Amino acid sequence: MALTDSTSMKLPIENPGAEDFLPLLGTDHVELYVGNAKQAAHYYMSAWGFQPLAYAGLETGLKDRVSYVLQQDKIRLVLTAPLKPGGGLNRHIDRHGDGVKVIALWVDDARKSYEETVKRGARSYFEPKTLKDEHGEVVLSGIHTYGETVHVFVERGKYSGPFMPGYRAWDPHYQPTSTGLKYIDHMVGNVGWNEMNTWVDFYARVMGFAQLVSFDDKDISTEYTALMSKVMSNGNGRIKFPINEPAEGRKKSQIEEYIDFYNGAGVQHLALATDNIIQTVGALRDRGVDFLTVPPAYYEDVLDRVGEIDEDLAPLRDLGILIDRDDEGYLLQIFTKPILDRPTLFVEIIQRKGAKSFGKGNFKALFEAIEREQASRGTL
Ligand SMILES: [Fe+2]
C-alpha cells in the first residue's frame, strides 16, 4: 500500500482509552540530523536495504543543508546534514551527535492537528505552512516533544510527488535490495530522572494517547541496573511511543548512559517490523549490522517459557533472536548495538505473531547483554 492511498480509510479503534481529536494515519517519516548525509544514506542503503527516494540540496536551491530521503516499504528516513557552520543543525549535532530530530506523523489535516495540540498545551515548533510544486501541495506544522525532538504533522492528501515540495526524485544507479523491513512498529523515547510521567501525561493530554502498558523497576531490572517504562498509543494503535526513565540500581543504567551521551532526552530506538525475522536478520548481519547477543543458555529453556512456535529454534539461536509470548500470541525480536558513534540510538527488529506486547520476558536477558556492552565502554 502506498503511503498516500488511504487517507479516507476508516481506522479500527485498537486503544479505546485514547481520544480521537488527533487522528493519526501512521508515521510519515523519521528525520535524523547527521554530520554527513551522503555517507549516512549509503549506510542505510547498503546495510539496511533502504532504497533511494528523494533529494534536496544545492542543486534544488538549498544553500545551507542537504537531505536524502530513503524508503523501505512503509518506512521513510530523511537524513539531513549542514553545509555551512553555525545554526541550529550544527548545534544539534554538536550537542547530540547524529540522532532523530523529527518524528513526522501522517495526518488528514495538519492545521487542525496543530490547533488541537497547541490548544492542549503543546509548544509550537512551527505554524502550519503549505508547500507547493507541480505535483500538488503538502501542509506541514510542528510541535515540540521531549528533549529537542519534535513532531511534524504531514498532510499529503493533495500531493503526488516523490516526497514533498522542495525535493526532487533521487534515482541513482545503486538500488539496494530490501531486507524485508515493513513499517515502524514503535519508537522509544528516553527521558531523564522522574520525567517519564511528565511525558506520559503530555501524550495523554496533548495528543489524546492512552497508556497501553507500564513496567516498573521490578519488571526491568538486573542485579545491577534498572529502568521504568510506560507505553503510550494513539486510538488506532498505529503510533506507539514507549517512554523510558532510569531507575536506581547498583550501577549506571543504559538510560543514564544514553542521557549522558545524547545530552538529554531523545529517541532511543526505532522498532522496525518484518514478516520474516530470520531472513531479515540474516540479511542485515551479512550486510554488516551488529546485533546484541544473549548467552546460549537463553535457548535451553526458552520454549518451556513461551510454548510452541512456528519457527525452528536453531536459526533463532544462531542469529540470537529472542522470543516472548503474551495472551494474544508471541513475538520474535532482536536489538542492534548502537548504530552511531555515540552509544545512543539503536534499532529493534520485531516480528509479531499475534502478540501485542513488547518482549517483557526478554528484558532481563536483554539488559544483561547491554550491560556487557556498557562494561566494555567503561560506562556501566
Ligand atoms: Fe522496543
Q: How many Å lie between the centroid of ligand 1 and the Cα of residue 137?
A: 34
Q: For residue 266, how far is its CA from the centre of ligand 1 (angstroms)?
A: 14
212 C-alpha vs ligand 1 centroid, how far in Å? 14
Tell whether 175 is covered by a domain: no
Mean pLDDT throughout 319-338? 95
Task: Share the mean pLDDT of the chain.
Answer: 92
**Pairwise CA distance, residues 302 & 221, whole Å:** 19
4 domain residue, yes or no = no
Distance 251 CA to ligand 1 centre (A): 22
> Could you give the percent of the chain with pLDDT greater than 70?
97
Looking at the structure, tell me whether residues 196 and 130 fall in a common domain.
Answer: no
* Ligand 1 mean position, distance from CA 311 (Å): 21
- Looking at 136, 169, 202, which one is the last position of a domain? 169
Residue 140 pLDDT more than 70? yes
For residue 19, being part of any structural domain is answered with no
- Cα 186 to ligand 1 centre (Å): 7
Q: CA 142 → CA 28, 101, 154, 262, distances in Å?
A: 13, 12, 9, 22
Q: How many angstroms separate the alpha carbon of residue 35 from the centre of ligand 1?
A: 26
Whether 227 maps to a domain, the answer reads yes
- 7 in a structural domain: no
In a shared domain, residues 270 and 215: yes
Same domain? 267 vs 206? yes
Statement: residue 191 has pLDDT above 60: yes
Report how far ligand 1's centroid is from the alpha carbon of 348 (Å). Answer: 6
More confident position, 90 or 367: 90
Are residue 309 and residue 351 in the same domain, yes or no? yes
Which residues have a Cβ under 8 Å from the Cβ of 319 and sit 6 or more positions away?
A: 278, 281, 282, 285, 291, 334
Residue 16 has pLDDT above 70, yes or no: yes
Query: What does the pLDDT look like over 196-218, one tens digit per residue?
Result: 999 999 999 999 999 987 777 77
Confidence band for 307, pLDDT divided at 50, 70 and 90 = very high
Q: 127 in a domain, yes or no?
A: yes
| Å from CA of 7 to ligand 1 middle | 27
For residue 339, report the distance from its CA to the centre of ligand 1, in Å: 15
Q: Ligand 1 center to residue 109 CA distance, Å? A: 29
- In terms of average pLDDT, the best of 109-123, 240-254, 292-306 is 109-123
Ligand 1 center to 34 CA (angstroms) = 23
Structural domain boundaries enclosing 94 = 26-169
pLDDT, tens digit (0-9, with 9 covering 90-100), for 32-45: 999 999 999 999 99
Residues 205 and 322 in one domain: yes
Is the confidence at residue 361, as pLDDT, over 70?
Answer: yes
Domain end, chosen from 134, 169, 204, is at 169
Q: What is the pLDDT of residue 251?
A: 81
Distance 40 CA to ligand 1 centre (A): 23
CA of 375 to the centre of ligand 1 (A): 22
Residue 99 · residue 149 · CB < 8 Å: no
Quote the ligand 1 centre to 23 CA distance (angstroms).
23
Ligand 1 centre and the CA of 16: distance in Å?
22
What distance in angstroms lies between residue 255's CA and the mean position of ligand 1's atoms? 14
Assigned domain for 115 exists? yes
Mean pLDDT of 212-237: 82
Burial 55-94 (b: 16+ CB within 10 A, else e): bbbeeeeeeebbbbbbbbbbbbbbbbbbeeeeeebbebbe
Q: How far is the CA of 38 from the centre of ligand 1 (A)?
A: 28
Residues 45 and 159 in one domain: yes
Q: Say how many Å lie between the CA of residue 91 and the centre of ligand 1.
A: 28
Nearest CA among 192, 221, 218, 189 for reference residue 345: 189
How high is the pLDDT of residue 103? 98
- C-alpha cell read off for 31: 528525520
Please report the pLDDT score of residue 11 as a whole number. Answer: 55
Distance from the alpha carbon of residue 126 to the mean position of ligand 1, in angstroms:
29
Cα of 87 to ligand 1 centre, how many Å?
A: 33
Give the model's pLDDT for residue 167.
97
Give 12's pLDDT tier (boundaries 50, 70, 90).
low
| Domain co-membership, 128 together with 192 | no
Q: Which of 69-73, 176-180, 362-366 has the lowest mean pLDDT?
A: 362-366
For 237-268, what is each residue's pLDDT tens digit? 999 999 999 888 878 888 999 999 999 999 99
Per-residue confidence at 128, pLDDT binned at 50, 70, 90? very high
Total count of domains within the chain: 2
Q: Which of 145, 169, 193 is the last residue of a domain?
A: 169
CA of 240 to the centre of ligand 1 (A): 10
pLDDT > 90 fraction of the chain, expressed in percent and rounded: 77
Q: Is the pLDDT reported for residue 6 higher than 50?
A: no
- Distance (angstroms) between ligand 1 centre and the Cα of 221 equals 16
- Rounded to an integer, the average pLDDT of 72-99 is 98
Q: Band of the pLDDT at 7, cuts 50, 70, 90?
A: very low
The CATH number covering residue 356 comes to: 3.10.180.10
Q: How confident is the model at residue 24 (pLDDT cuts 50, 70, 90)?
A: very high
Residues 251 and 326 in one domain: yes
For ligand 1, the distance from its centroid to the CA atom of residue 5, given in whole angstroms, is: 28
Looking at residue 5, what is its pLDDT?
A: 39
d(CA 78, CA 71): 9
The verdict on residue 18 lying in a domain is: no
Of the listed ranges 142-156, 192-206, 217-231, the least confidently predicted one is: 217-231
Distance in Å, CA 188 to ligand 1 centroid: 7
Cell 488541537 identifies what position? 116
SS (H, E, C) the chain: CCCCCCCCCCCCCCCCCCCCCCCCCEEEEEEEECCCHHHHHHHHHHCCCCEEEEEECHHHCCCCEEEEEEEECCEEEEEEEECCCCHHHHHHHHHHCCEEEEEEEECCCHHHHHHHHHHCCCCEEEEEEEEEECCEEEEEEEEECCCCCEEEEEECCCECCCCCCCCEECCCCCCCCCCCEEEEEEEEEECCCCCHHHHHHHHHHCCCCEEEEEECCCCCECCCCEEEEEEEECCCCCCEEEEEEEECCCCCCHHHHHHHHHCCCEEEEEEEEECCHHHHHHHHHHCCCCECCCCCHHHHCHHHHHCCCCCCHHHHHHHCCEEEEECCEEEEEEEECCCCCCCCCEEEEEEEEECCCCCHHHHHHHHHHHHHHHHHHCCC
Ligand 1 mean position to 269 CA, how many Å?
A: 7
CA–centroid distance, 97 to ligand 1, in Å, is: 22
Which position has the higher pLDDT, 141 or 18? 141
pLDDT value at 2 more than 60: no
